[in-house]
Amino acid sequence: MAILVAPQFPEVDQEKLIKMCLIHDFGEAVTGDIPSFYKTAQDEEHEATAVAELLKLLPEGITQEFAALFAEMAKRNTAESKLFHALDNLEGVISHNEAPLETWIPLEHTENLTYGTENAAYSEYLRNLREELKQDSIKKISNTLYRFQI
What CATH number did the domain enclosing 58 receive? 1.10.3210.10
Question: What pLDDT sits at residue 150?
Answer: 43
Average pLDDT for runs of 10 along the chain of length 150: 96 97 91 80 92 94 96 96 96 93 90 95 98 96 63
CB 35 within 8 A of CB 124: no
> What range defines the domain where residue 103 resides?
2-149
Question: What pLDDT sits at residue 145?
Answer: 56
Q: How many distinct structural domains can be found in the chain?
A: 1
CA 52 to chain centre: 20
